[in-house]
Copies of this chain bind each other. A is one copy, B any other.
Amino acid sequence: MKIGIIGSGMVAQTLGTTWLGLGHEVALGTRDPQKIDDKKMMAASLREWRAQTENRGRIVTFQEAAAFGDVLVNATGGTVSIQALEQAAADKVGGKVLIDVANELDHGRGLPPRPLASDDRCLAEKIQARFANLKVVKTLNTVGAPVMVNPGGLAGGDHTVFLSGNDGGAKAQVADLLRGLGWSDILDLGDISTARGPEMYMGLWLRLWGVTRTPNVNVKVQRAPKGG
């Protein structure tokens, strides 16, 4: 599969490396592909990333990544995602699946960053409203990058990832990609409005990170049988 990732930070690089290892083709879209020597926060420069992938990883513009992918991923910072997707001309790529893994965080007031999500403010819903052509699926925003691509590295993989989206076929395709990453407990919450839940959860995740001092943390949803 061709995967076009909008964004080039730690999450984008980690997903990209992993999907290349699984045999997919990957293009990382960045605002300015000339700046491949800039150090990224908590990540390698793009030149280093490309070298790690034995030059199989493509480094392209936002717009080229959006055109390249059969499936797109929003791995930009949540507060700049709409702008980045506009630069990517994501409204002109037809009915592609967009996997939204981003969170809106305000890093301007120190640690922990402020989670901006609320029942009135849901990034995935905003993206779906702005880009009606895309099939937006929210997932993976509730875990850090190392857990995204190696769920088995935490509690033997016994924890949960969520899916929200309006298109059942798109969610099935994303669930396949998640199983490819090693996820087994994939919980479909419903339409894109249900992404409010996992986005608001970021408020708790940041505190779990604070108290455990590791991003290697996630939750397992323990539920009774239906109707139980």
| Contact flags A107-148 to B (C-beta < 8 A → 1, else 0) | 000000011111101000000000000000000000000000
B217 touches A223 (CB 8 A): yes
A220 touches B219 (CB 8 A): yes
* Oligomer: number of copies: 2
- Output the least CB separation between A214 and chain B (Å): 5
Interface membership of A77, Cβ < 8 A: no
Interface size on A, residues (CB 8 A): 47
- Output the least CB separation between A78 and chain B (Å): 14
A118: B residues at CB distance < 8 A: 117-118, 121, 200, 203
Given contacts A203-B197, A207-B189, contact A222 B115 (CB under 8 A): no
B203 touches A221 (CB 8 A): no
Interface membership of A7, Cβ < 8 A: no
Main secondary structure of the interface of A (DSSP, over half): mixed
A91: B residues at CB distance < 8 A: none
- Output the least CB separation between A157 and chain B (Å): 9
A210: B residues at CB distance < 8 A: 189-190, 194
The answer, among B159, B201, B211, B218, for a CB contact under 8 Å with A188, is: B211
A172: B residues at CB distance < 8 A: none
Which residues 71-118 of A have a CB within 8 angstroms of B?
Answer: 114-118
Interface membership of A216, Cβ < 8 A: yes
Which residues 34-72 of A have a CB within 8 angstroms of B?
Answer: none
- Output the least CB separation between A224 and chain B (Å): 4
- Output the least CB separation between A88 and chain B (Å): 29
- Output the least CB separation between A216 and chain B (Å): 4
Q: What are the 3 A-B residue pairs with the smallest beta carbon separation, nearest first?
A: A200-B203, A197-B207, A197-B204
7 A-B contacts, Cβ less than 8 Å apart?
Answer: A118-B121, A118-B203, A197-B204, A200-B200, A200-B202, A201-B204, A217-B224
Chain A contact residues, CB within 8 Å of chain B: 114-119, 121, 154-155, 158-160, 187-190, 194, 196-208, 210-214, 216-224, 226-228
